[in-house]
Chains A and B, each alone.
Chain A
Amino acid sequence: MSAGRGIARRFSDPRLTLALRLAAGVLLVYASYDKLLDPQPFADAVDDYRILPLALVNLTAVVLPWVELVAGLCLIAGLGTPGAGLVTAVLAAVYTGALSSALLRGLEIGCGCFAAGAGDPLTWSDLWLRLALFAAGVQIAVAARVIDWPLAALSGPARRRRRAADPTPGA
């Protein structure tokens, strides 16, 4: 019973949450950058997976990088953090499913994960980062505060008093 509580305490350790938030946030912002500047090559990469009907390919290519960017910025800023963690977990689950499906079908396509163009051919090793991102998203969704550091530190004396009673590492 106490071992279970210990694992739960470690899982929800604010220092772990902070590290995962910053890592996942920077990764998502980086992943979005090329794709939102030039959506056509990303649309081609999405089309290469042959999962979505053509009518949804461009809309996905236009919106998805912005979801990555906004979720990534929220994770870094500590705003709506559990929601951003949930979005991260859902994105990572979708990417993991799409990559696995393409690999199982033997498609020789680029990942389309970071660069706007197709990039290097997809391999099973591309899955690890998405699985790690999924785990980070789940941890953040469960353990992070709605308004977290650093935004919490800037959001008024009342919140500062609360933080003083329950300090967040790094805050």
Chain B
Amino acid sequence: MRGRLAWTLASAAAIVVIAAALGLLANAVSGAGISLVATRAPPGRAIELNEARGLLEGDAARFIDARPYDDFLAGHIAGAVSVPLAERAGKLDQLRRELPRTQPLVVYCDGGDCGSASELSAWLAGNGWRDVRVLVDGYPVWAAAGFPIARGEGP
């Protein structure tokens, strides 16, 4: 009986050790491998206009429009996803499907005096996105600078 218990524990430990070794090895050599320690940037960090434009042009971040949907239709940063602050809860499943949690996000609203971008960035960070920043100047300054915008439903 004691021999069987020892065998059971030993083989269970061997399974876990072999699996861990295989997992770490596969993660190291696979193209889909991930860093072993995840990090999360503090939410609500500001990003300046030109740096944000660099991220857009380098396809290094997704932009999130926190304004009401009518404002998004009238004009938004090219490629942005509409997540009106008041409707954020209903958008969560869609965001989880479409945006990996490691995807850097830039949230914006109508400028320095609108709080919805900060609030939405805190909500996104609270739901697991690890690098969420706020475009302090918002959409009006972006559009006035002649940076890429789009109109209508599409991103």
Contacts and interface: CB of A to CB of B under 8 A. Distances in A.
B27 A39 contact: yes
A151 B92 CA distance: 48
B60 interface: no
Interface stretch (A15-23, A77-85, A123-131): A77-85
B73 interface: no
Contacts of A40: 32, 34, 100-102
A59 B11 CA distance: 22
A65 B128 contact: no
Interface string B32-65: 1111111110000000000000000000000000
Interface string A52-74: 00110111011111110111001
Contacts, number: 114
A87 interface: yes
A14 interface: no
A47 B38 contact: yes
Nearest to B8: A82
B149 interface: no
Contacts of A121: 93
B23 interface: yes
Contacts of A13: none
Q: Chain B CB within 10 Å — which of A44, A48, A117 has the most?
A: A44
B19 A38 contact: no
B12 A86 contact: yes
A120 to B, nearest CB: 9
A104 to B, nearest CB: 19
A38 B13 CA distance: 25
Contact of B15 (A36, A44, A87): A87
B144 interface: no
Interface of A: 36-41, 43-44, 47-48, 54-55, 57-59, 61-67, 69-71, 74, 80-87, 90, 108, 110, 117-118, 121, 141, 146
Interface of B: 4, 7-16, 18-20, 22-24, 26-27, 32-40, 92-93, 96-97, 100-102, 127-128
